[in-house]
Structure 1
């Protein structure tokens, strides 16, 4: 049993949507975007960004959302690329720039005031449960899947 984000098409895997989240752009509390004004594409291009590494689902989902808005990757100022959500979150809290993260990754930092949400609405990102079509799903995995199905969608 596994969980993946984004589309997946495999003849050997059973794929079942279980939840979704709406990622959020976060900044340090003293950043101009923390005041809540609506962001333009020009704002996004001028900003210094902290990104996850290539191949990260978070990165790919954010880049797809930006592309839909008409902001391609080659127009962004990416100043840091880091290997984990936690590293990105901490760099942003220290003022390195803006980043796009899962609301689950940054909820404690948002609640504590260490991060602030920027005013930009991103599309939902689906999560699917996957397992091999021809393999038995153990009872513990099936119970865990039931819990995942009952999870609410996450939005900032």
Structure 2
């Protein structure tokens, strides 16, 4: 890892290892730890944002992944979840559309989008998807706390712009 990180240093990248889950991934090397995470840019990395529904599904999938790891042990294979289990979880937050077919289509589209990010597999013949271990790093407590802080800051800024009291 030291030699790999020495090679990546001129590119402002750093390799991180999750030996328990068998992952090695690249991250942007930040010189200033206090710099806002949202203001970074890198010529070799394309930033992709998730929309609200994608973010919600990532959080739900992470819950399934963590529960799987608690039962099977950290680093044990890929967690599987059925599409039918995800539909009611999403309905709790987004409400029901009134059509089961529409709900299933929405979940399948969201899963396909997350598959492009490498977080889940394509649905198998039993309409189950594998949740990949990288989800533990994408939706970790630090990232979720930063997201919550950013949301509160935006709400406070909007409230002060409209003369209302902040949260």
Which of the two has greater strand per residue? 1
Structure of greater Rg: 2
Normalising to structure 1: TM-score of the pair? 0.26
Greater relative CO, 1 or 2 (CA 8 Å, sep 6+):
1
Normalising to structure 2: TM-score of the pair? 0.25
